[in-house]
Amino acid sequence: MLSTPDPVTPEPYNHTQYCQWPCKCPKTPPTCPPGVSLIMDGCDCCRACAKQVGEVCNEKENCDHHRGLYCDYSADKPRYEKGVCAYLPGTGCEHKGVIFRNGQSFQPNCKYQCVCVNGAIGCVSLCNESQPPRVWCQNPRRVKIPGRCCEQWICDESRRGRKTAPRHTMAALSSVKDDWHKNCVTQTTSWSPCSKTCGRGVSLRITNSNKQCKMVKESRLCNIRPCKVDITKHIKPGKKCLNVYREEKPHNFTISGCTSTNTYWPKYCGVCIDERCCIPYKSKTVEVDFQCPNGSGFSWQVMWINACFCNLSCKNPNDIFTDLEQYHDKGEVGN
């Protein structure tokens, strides 16, 4: 008589107890790095810095839900105790018939690096490290070089103008050259144009201004103009444009159900009733702190518009790359 084999029983294991009661919290909450949310831990005991994408998470150490992250336990089967913070599926993006998932980076061509952020596409130019030699060249011109993706600035000496650089300019160029001999040369791209022409969008840049001297991607919120306000009603009689629009009184910013701890009175770019378009001319980046109903908090970098100008250089709103051409007369105030 054949004996039936004993059923295979799963190997027993002890469940790790991450939460301890009663709660024991430090007298002062931790100080989180810039951009990292201060949230209530998974034990609902203490405030803690939220885990970021790629970091280990568990039932106590939560991921930063304000940045669309969740704890993915799929690799810890069958225990499902430790996970890795990953982006929620969110809303994907479509560009030229190709669908990109939320949080996915892609390079549509050799000139731009883009990322999908919950339905909005933000891009940074990979070619904006070159600046026109306006200090000493009266006729700078950008030309296409065979075998290279990005155009390069040259001084058009065929026209009348200074052909040699002043001494103070050569000294400045020499000091820049000396900086390359240091361990780390700080490189930061300009902020990309806002991903939306009205309402909240996202703007990106790439920088290695950190202790690791590592190229990282930074993002900031931006709002060029409100979508639900008819700004044309505020244009003065006899005028065709309103460069800057401002609401009647200050207000709080809101995001993900959380409210800014301070009130703000931001400027927005206006509109024209002719063929001209209004875009930011001077801006800076400010850090805005938010407080949530459950007591948690976080901060976001936000674009702060100082001035706008209106001209005939209106780009195709369906072309997300045309606005990335640099306006060398405009720039950031501060950072």
- Sequential pLDDT tens for the chain (335 residues): 555 555 555 555 677 888 888 888 988 888 887 667 888 898 989 989 999 888 999 989 999 877 778 888 888 887 788 899 887 766 677 788 788 877 677 888 888 877 776 677 777 777 755 555 544 566 677 777 777 888 776 766 555 444 444 444 444 444 443 443 355 767 777 788 888 888 888 888 888 888 887 777 888 899 999 988 899 999 999 898 998 999 989 999 988 788 899 999 999 999 998 888 888 888 899 999 988 887 888 888 999 999 988 887 665 444 555 545 544 344 454 44
* CATH class name, domain 199-311: mainly beta
- Evaluated on CA atoms 237, 224, 301, 125, the torsion sign reads negative
pLDDT of residue 268: 94
| pLDDT of the residue at 304 | 93
Distance, CA of 298 to CA of 7 (rounded, Å): 51
Listed by start position, the domains of the chain span 16-88, 93-125, 130-156, 199-311
What is 16-88's CATH number, 1.10.2020.10, 4.10.40.20, 1.10.1060.10, 3.40.50.970?
A: 4.10.40.20
Residue 312's alpha-carbon distances to 102, 118, 309, 319, in angstroms, are: 34, 31, 10, 17
Cα radius of gyration rounded to whole Å, the chain: 26
Per 3-state DSSP, the chain is made up of helix, strand and coil in percentages (nearest 5) of 10, 35, 60
pLDDT value, residue 214: 78
Q: What is the pLDDT of residue 302?
A: 92
What pLDDT does residue 136 have?
52
Claim: this prediction has a pTM higher than 0.85: no
pLDDT at 329: 40
Res 171: pLDDT: 45
Three-class SS of residue 172? helix
